[in-house]
């Protein structure tokens, strides 16, 4: 019988430590090669480690919840020497206790910016000078006026098939009725103007729901505008109301249980949460980005009514059956399209040069139970609308479960954060380290909007963009955001 020791490996991220989250085996258990033995949390994600040996677990050498360095012995397995030991599949994942000298020294954790820039070094480089490359203006496709007089871009860089899907369904946009145009006598007084605005507001706030649902909402004191509608025509259903009420009651109960009794600032009433894993990595990256990259932010209001209609049609399409579709899908495609027209937003600042990426690894900021994560979709520029929808759904589901592979966290080139899913209008996002741009997508809701001289309710959203001013000048950031907004206002441009 031979005893083998398995040391904590570097799982390919260049990290120096990890937290032991949960052991999947106990002393005395029999394991086979590649059986999962432990779940660890690195600074980026949860990872399950397989056993490199077949045998009986002798001992667990590290307790759950402990943070250990790469190369630390964590488990020993007794192997039948007659049957021969199983050689680990990769030298970097296992080491024997009898040969500690074979364990490589724990690598130093690279700075996030350097880590993100590594893939870019393999891509074609563009050595630029100055604080804001102007060649982008040359690369942009010329705009020509359309029949309506609105500038429209020439054919986009790639033809898009019929669209795809993404998380969080959005309500279908009803046909926008025209607001009442007051007679001169009405507009002659402030009260007349107020009456017109009141009519518009009532029209905008009208929520689709059947009479029994409206009565139930009134009895419960629920504003139907606060309830997420899942009905086929965008109406609030009875089940929607029940789910909302259950969530509201749960929040009230948890709020009552949160406060601890007793006066003063007793230390026993202070919850201490260790900062480690994803939270520690996020904190380090955000501080580094905020204080190393000079941020500049701009905002733009967008009429996304056509995007809402486009999403509704996609949901009804047989091509996208079984695929979740939301406006985030259209925004993601818009960002890819706009970056091709303004290449320097898809770049890395490398000190003495700017690395412009001729590929898009689109990062999607995801709130997970373990903190903020930004996995990215590799080569997103190559995906059709349907393929992008599937990729977004997979990314979101994996991130929520905390199962994002380490490879999906590396090499992002530009990030999108969907703060609108939480009902927020807009914000000032912090650029992901190693990138020079991030777009924040605010909530889409109906507001009064002027169309052809008339005030009508339209689906409006606000986009917020932050840029590294060392690379992206004001005019470039404005052109990029204007291009993104153009797609949300007219998704048909993607099909040109």
- Tell me the domains of the chain and their CATH numbers: 2-102 (2.40.50.100), 113-171+276-495 (3.30.559.10), 184-254 (4.10.320.10)
User: What does each C-alpha distance from 51 to 14, 33, 94, 259 come to in angstroms?
Assistant: 21, 5, 9, 44
SS3 assignment, position 13? coil
Strands 73-79 and 55-60, sheet pairing: antiparallel
| Alpha helices for 260-411 (secondary structure H) | 277-292, 305-316, 327-341, 385-400
Q: What whole-number distance in Å separates Cα of residue 15 and Cα of residue 108? A: 7
Nearest to 389 by CA among 162, 228, 170, 231: 162
Handedness of CA 147, 149, 155, 160 (dihedral sign): negative
pTM more than 0.75: no
Q: Could you tell me where the DSSP H helices lie in 317-465?
A: 327-341, 385-400
**Residue 441 · residue 463 · CB < 8 Å:** yes
What pLDDT is stored for residue 240 in this prediction? Answer: 82
**Dihedral angle of Cα 285, 290, 291, 297, to the nearest 10 degrees:** 150
130: how many CB neighbours lie within 10 A of its CB? 9
pLDDT tens for the chain, 496 residues long, are 888 899 988 876 566 788 888 899 999 999 999 899 998 877 666 788 899 999 999 999 999 888 888 889 999 999 986 544 444 444 333 433 333 333 344 444 444 443 444 444 444 433 333 333 444 443 444 444 444 444 444 444 343 444 444 444 444 444 444 444 444 334 344 445 555 455 545 544 567 888 788 888 888 888 887 787 777 767 888 888 888 887 777 666 655 565 556 665 566 656 666 767 666 776 677 777 777 778 889 999 999 999 999 999 999 999 999 899 999 999 999 999 999 999 999 999 888 888 999 999 999 988 777 777 889 999 999 999 999 999 999 998 888 877 888 888 889 999 999 988 878 888 888 898 889 999 999 999 999 999 999 999 999 999 999 999 989 988 999 999 999 999 999 998 887 5
Residue indicated by tokens 């789910």: 243
Q: How many CB atoms lie within 10 A of CB 50?
A: 18
CA atoms of 80 and 86, how far apart (whole Å):
10
Strand ranges, E, within 304-453: 347-349, 354-356, 362-368, 371-373, 376-377, 414-417, 437-441, 445-451
Q: Which of 180, 295, 358, 469 is catalytic?
A: 469
Is the Cα torsion angle 204, 208, 213, 214 positive or negative in sign? Answer: positive
Cα–chain center distance at 318: 27
* Residues facing residue 445 across a β-bridge: 460
Annotation marks residue 469 as catalytic: yes
pLDDT at position 254, please?
58
pLDDT tens per residue across span 199-241 = 545 544 567 888 788 888 888 888 887 787 777 767 888 888 8
pLDDT for res 261: 62
* CA atoms of 363 and 366, how far apart (whole Å): 9
Burial classification of residue 219, based on how many CB atoms lie within 10 Å of its CB (0-12 exposed, 13-18 middle, 19 or more buried) = exposed
User: Residue 267: which residues within 8 A CB-CB, separation 6 or more?
Assistant: none
Helices (H), 375-452: 385-400
Residues in the chain: 496
Contact 393, 377 (CB under 8 A): no
CB atoms within 10 A of CB 260: 10
d(CA 91, CA 78): 19
Q: Kindly report the CA angle at 430 between 424 and 436, in degrees rounded to 5?
A: 125
C-alpha span between 178 and 186 (Å, rounded): 17
Angle between helices 277-292 and 112-122 (to 10 degrees): 80
Tokens of 46: 């949860």
Q: How many CB atoms lie within 10 A of CB 348?
A: 25
Q: How far apart are CA 404 and CA 43, in angstroms?
A: 12
- Name the residue among 362, 275, 287, 229 with its Cα closest to residue 111: 287
C-alpha 97/C-alpha 4 separation (Å) is: 6
């Amino acid at each position: 019988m031979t005893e083998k020791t398995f040391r904590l490996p570097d799982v390919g991220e260049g990290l120096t430590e990890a937290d032991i989250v949960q052991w999947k085996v106990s002393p005395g258990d029999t394991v086979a090669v590649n059986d999962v033995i432990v779940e660890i949390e690195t600074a980026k994600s949860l990872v399950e480690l397989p056993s490199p040996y077949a045998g009986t677990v002798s001992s667990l050498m590290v307790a759950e919840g402990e943070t250990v360095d790469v190369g630390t012995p964590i488990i020993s397995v007794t192997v039948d020497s007659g049957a021969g030991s199983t050689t680990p599949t990769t030298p970097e994942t296992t080491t024997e206790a009898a040969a500690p000298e074979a364990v490589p020294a724990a690598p130093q954790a690279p700075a996030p910016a350097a880590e993100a820039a590594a893939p870019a070094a393999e891509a074609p480089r563009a050595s630029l000078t100055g604080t804001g490359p102007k060649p982008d203006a040359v690369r942009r496709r010329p705009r020509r006026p359309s029949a309506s007089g609105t500038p429209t871009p020439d054919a986009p860089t790639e033809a898009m098939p019929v669209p795809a899907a993404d998380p969080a369904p959005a309500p279908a946009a009803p046909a926008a009725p025209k607001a009442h145009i007051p007679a001169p006598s009405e507009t002659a007084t402030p009260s007349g103007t107020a009456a017109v605005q009141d009519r518009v507001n009532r029209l905008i706030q009208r929520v689709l729901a059947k009479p029994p649902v409206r009565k139930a909402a009134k009895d419960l004191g629920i504003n139907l505008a606060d309830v997420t509608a899942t009905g086929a025509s965008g109406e609030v259903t009875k089940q929607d109301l029940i789910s909302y009420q259950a969530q509201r009651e749960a929040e009230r109960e948890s709020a009552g249980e949160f406060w601890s009794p007793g006066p003063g600032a007793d230390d026993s009433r202070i919850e201490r949460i260790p900062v480690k894993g994803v939270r520690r990595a996020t904190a380090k990256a955000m501080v580094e980005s905020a204080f190393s990259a000079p941020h500049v932010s701009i905002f733009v209001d967008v009429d996304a009514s056509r995007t809402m209609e486009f999403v509704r049609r996609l949901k009804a399409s047989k091509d996208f059956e079984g695929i979740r579709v939301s406006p985030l899908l259209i925004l993601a495609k818009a960002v890819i399209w706009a970056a091709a027209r303004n290449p320097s937003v898809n770049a890395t600042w490398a000190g003495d040069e700017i690395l412009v990426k001729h590929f898009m690894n689109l990062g999607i900021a995801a709130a997970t139970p373990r903190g903020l994560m930004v996995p990215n979709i590799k080569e997103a520029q190559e995906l059709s609308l349907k393929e992008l929808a599937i990729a977004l759904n997979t990314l979101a589901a994996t991130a929520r479960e905390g199962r994002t592979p380490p490879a999906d966290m590396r090499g992002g080139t530009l990030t999108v954060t969907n703060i609108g899913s939480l009902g927020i209008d807009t914000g000032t996002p912090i650029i992901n380290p190693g990138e020079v741009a991030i777009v924040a997508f605010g909530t889409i809701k109906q507001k009064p909007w002027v169309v052809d001289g008339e005030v009508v309710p339209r689906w409006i959203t606000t986009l917020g963009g932050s840029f590294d001013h060392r690379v992206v000048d004001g005019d470039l950031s404005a052109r990029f955001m204007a291009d993104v907004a153009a797609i949300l206002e007219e998704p048909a441009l993607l099909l040109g």
